[in-house]
A and B are shown apart, each in its own frame.
Chain A
Amino acid sequence: MSLFRYANSIYGGSDTLIGANYGLLPWFALAGVALAIAHAVFKAVTAADKPR
């Protein structure tokens, strides 16, 4: 999946960059959720390893 969106050039040349690909928005959100879950799991595991 491309990072960018392109439009066909009206002059028949190469495609023109018009912006970011907003189809990636769920992936950016998922990256945040994944990092949060990874950190929570890491903290839970390291807390369980610590002597009480």
Chain B
Amino acid sequence: MTVLTIEGLRIMIGSVPILRGVDLKIDRNRVHGLVGESGAGKTMVGKAIINALPDAARITGGAIRFDGRDLIAMSVRERRRLLGRSIAMILQNPMTALNPVIRIGEQMADILAYHLEVSRRAAAERAAEMLAAVHIREPGRVLRLYPHEISGGMCQRVAIALAFACEPQLIVADEPTTALDVTVQYRVLRLLKEMQGRTQSAVLFVTHDLGVVAKVCDDVSVMFAGRIVESAPVADLFAYPRHAYTAALLAATPRYDLPASTLRPIPEALRARLWQEAFADDRIAGRV
């Protein structure tokens, strides 16, 4: 069952195209990686879904269908009802997702009481239950702490607990482990995958790290200059990258298991060619 379908999504900031017709489809219980370098537009796709685009950005075309309905055409009120309940998010810096002056237990209970439409007491119980589900050892103690009193990894666990608490159909995860140490990243990825398996949610996993994509995603789309250049199941993409940019990105990724001489910077000629294609797309889009 398809949870999210993005069709021909175009976004501009001022006169600069940011997304140039993005198509994407995610089924239930699938983790879809969206990978690319900074400026490729991958974060914008996530932000468009959760209605968090910067003020200057305008959607100039396309549709974002969630559960069959176009999010862009929806009223703000309707859309807000979906967020947090049916569509949840996990961001790179979990500290910004939590209010620094409210105890973790209190803010979790506030959020859960609102989304689940239950009493504060039931929400507080659910909060403790969720912290246990994300393998926080002393949930009772952590609920009484402030966000600055816990580590980054622990904080991301709290954010994951919140995201999964309402068993959302779709989760947008934007670089959720980028700021973490590698062993902490491993544990957080493991947790994410475990929780996703339980709720069978569809996940859009935005990352710059092809390694993370290979390990946690089922499908992947590679972006460059606001366009998806290649989309495939991960096994296919890593075995036979079809697009030259995908292959170049792989060759530019350092690997401790290979001799140093295998590393190849991305050829400038390839980037130039891809930009030409993007500009050609702008001319066509401008005429329509």
Q: A and B bound?
A: no
A binding-site residues for B, Cβ under 8 Å: none
B binding-site residues for A, Cβ under 8 Å: none
